[in-house]
Amino acid sequence: MSAIYILWLRQLKRYLRSRSRIVGSLGQPVLFLLALGFGFGPIFAKAGGGSYIQFLAPGIIAMAILFTAVFTGIEIIWDRQFGFLKETLVAPVSRLQIVLGRTLGGATVALLQGAFIFVVCVVAGFRVERVRLVPVALAFMFLIAVLFTAIGTSIASVLEDMQGFQLIMNFIVLPLFFFSDALFPMRGLPKFLRAVLRVNPVTYGVDGIRGALSHGFHFGLGTDFAVLGILTAILLAIGSYLFSRIQL
């Protein structure tokens, strides 16, 4: 357990020391929130959807978390290229502990980014309608963070090229985000697109955050937790296995 704590703390300190990384990670979610929230807000309201900021904010929070979480995997490639990963792997601790420590550290960093964006959303006009369910929203945010940190770890464990990692991550993460209900409601969509949204894990994460904070759950609290929890466990197992196969 001490190794897990040390690796978690290392990830957190690395993040807190990098002010440019903190500011840079906030840029894209804030741009989406302001440009889409206020740009499409009047159209959304005229269509009978109410406040678009109220609908959009949970999706933007999820966006900040998943992008930050998945790109923590690039640190594995970085550490491999500069020799830091070798020092970690030869330490007298199991690779499972190393994976858990790095995953929890990356998830904590992503959760902090999500918390920052949550504050920005509140300043922009988002209102929490269910204060008692804020811990539930935090639980969904943490599940999203762990899930996508595990995805980043899985991909980084089999790659040695940073550019390749970024290309693959964008190929995976961008479709997952855009083909969820983060930016638009499911009602009124074509059947095939609704089917795509239903098999997308991001949809359940956004629905969990949105349901806990404002609009209510589309799929149900239990369904959202079950889908995210099972997928997180599976991806964490895959990431642990692939990381254990890294050759020094």
Ranges of each domain in the chain: 2-244
State the number of CA atoms in the 13 A half-sphere of 44 facing the CB.
17
Quickly tell me which residue has 């998945």 as its tokens: 70
What number is the average pLDDT over the span 87-111? 80
- Exposure class string for 177-199: b at 16+ Cβ within 10 A, else e: bebbbbbbeeeeeeeeeeeebee
Cβ neighbours of residue 148 closer than 8 Å, sequence gap 6 or more = 65, 66, 69, 70, 110, 173
pLDDT at 214: 84
The model's pTM: 0.89
- Exposure class string for 47-78: b at 16+ Cβ within 10 A, else e: eebebbbbbbbbbbbbbbbbbbbbbbbbbbbe
Between residues 217 and 24, the one the model is more confident about: 217
Tell me what percent of the residues of the chain surpass a pLDDT of 90.
26
Distance CA 107, CA 143 (A): 8
